[in-house]
Amino acid sequence: MPLLERTIKMVVTTILAILIAESLQLTYAISAGIIALLSLHDTRKTSLKVARERLFAFFLAFCIAFFSFTVFGFSMLAFTVYLSFSIPILYLLKLESGLVPITVLVTHLLVFKSLNFQILSNEFLLFIIGTSTALLGNAYMKTPKKEIQQYHVIIEKELKDLLFQLESSLLTHFDNRLYHSLEQLEDLLGEALVLVYRDSHNQVFQQTNYHVHYFEMRRHQLRIVDKMVKSCKKITERNRQSILLAHFIHETAEQLSETNSALTLREDISLLLETYRQGELPKTRLEFENRSQIFQILQDLEQFILEKIEFYKEYKEYY
């Protein structure tokens, strides 16, 4: 979220909570604004989760506070007892997100020096107003559809270029720029996944994991390509098998597309594997080592294609 948009949301939500609390003539109305500010998060799911946790924490903490102030009076000793019990209990129950804002409300009891219904209701309403206003503020979350689609296009292009580089390395000599391309694409996929996971956590009622699974699939493919690059580096001479493999990698790159099922590639690679198996046996140790690396690349390429086929089968109705 851009800084300006985040700032506006935080200011509006905080002021709105304070104004609502003041309109209800609640004491310490500004506390509602502070709670609202502390309850704003990056995603709707996180906001709902924290709101639920803080509601449980509120009742638990106020029960501890009620006991402490009833037994020890409205004193620093009572507040110390409250903290001594509430801190470990809330942490053990994983409700620590509510510790600070709720403790602020508990301090009001020290000032009021009373536990009557009106005062307890005042604190509860401050909590509800602050939390609800934050949830309302988080209801607006801009969907980054354009940015996600841009990542689809860029990553697909970069992956194609990477395969073309690998093809060239199999035809001529190993290109060390492959390592830079791998790192660059890994960074792009990391950025894309951060974006789509955040967007996924903003979809509370209607959720699709298509984009998450798509970029995860591309990341798995990239790791397979990384293995292929390492095998390619070990090939010391080019021959008929490496040329055939290079041509097939070229074909794979040409067909690389979000909407392509890759089923025809699966059939073609099965034929190529069979051709390799029926070929002449290597005559020298060097030829054997090169052949084994080529065969390994081919097997990895088959797995690369299978990744896309499985993804397509799961989401073919999406296209």
125-150 pLDDT tens trace: 999 999 999 888 877 666 778 888 99
Count how many domains the chain has.
2
CB atoms near residue 195 (< 10 Å)? 17
> Domain containing 261 — which CATH number?
1.20.120.940
Q: Which of 81, 115, 140 is the endpoint of a domain?
A: 140
pLDDT of 205 strictly over 70:
no
pLDDT of residue 141: 66
Mean pLDDT of the chain: 87
Whether residues 224 and 251 share a domain: the answer is: yes
CA 80 vs. chain centroid, Å, equals 40
Domain of residue 270, residue span = 145-318
d(C-alpha 163, C-alpha 79), whole Å: 66
CA 313 vs. chain centroid, Å, equals 23
> How much of the chain is in helix, strand and coil states, percent to nearest 5?
80, 0, 20
Whether residues 91 and 40 share a domain: the answer is: yes
pLDDT of residue 207: 56
Whether residues 134 and 60 share a domain: the answer is: yes
pLDDT of residue 226: 94
Q: What is the pLDDT of residues 293-309, one digit of tens each?
A: 888 998 899 999 999 98
pLDDT of residue 17: 94
Please report which confidence band the pLDDT of residue 196 belongs to, taking 50, 70 and 90 as the band edges. confident
Whether residues 98 and 191 share a domain: the answer is: no
Please report which confidence band the pLDDT of residue 239 belongs to, taking 50, 70 and 90 as the band edges. confident
Please report which confidence band the pLDDT of residue 270 belongs to, taking 50, 70 and 90 as the band edges. confident
- Quick one: average pLDDT of 22-45? 88
Whether residues 120 and 177 share a domain: the answer is: no
Amino acid at position 303, single letter: Q
Whether residues 181 and 310 share a domain: the answer is: yes
Whether residues 308 and 170 share a domain: the answer is: yes
Closest CA to 265 of 253, 276, 280: 253
- Between 14 and 315, the higher pLDDT residue: 14
Whether residues 202 and 66 share a domain: the answer is: no
Whether residues 132 and 205 share a domain: the answer is: no
pLDDT of residue 68: 96
Spell out where 23-119 has E strands: none
Amino acid at position 36, single letter: A
- Between 204 and 56, the higher pLDDT residue: 56
Token pair for 163: 């395969």
Report pTM. Answer: 0.67
pLDDT of residue 228: 93
pLDDT of 166 strictly over 70:
yes
Please report which confidence band the pLDDT of residue 28 belongs to, taking 50, 70 and 90 as the band edges. very high
The winner for highest mean pLDDT among 175-189, 230-244, 267-281 is 175-189
Token pair for 71: 């037994």
pLDDT of residue 103: 95
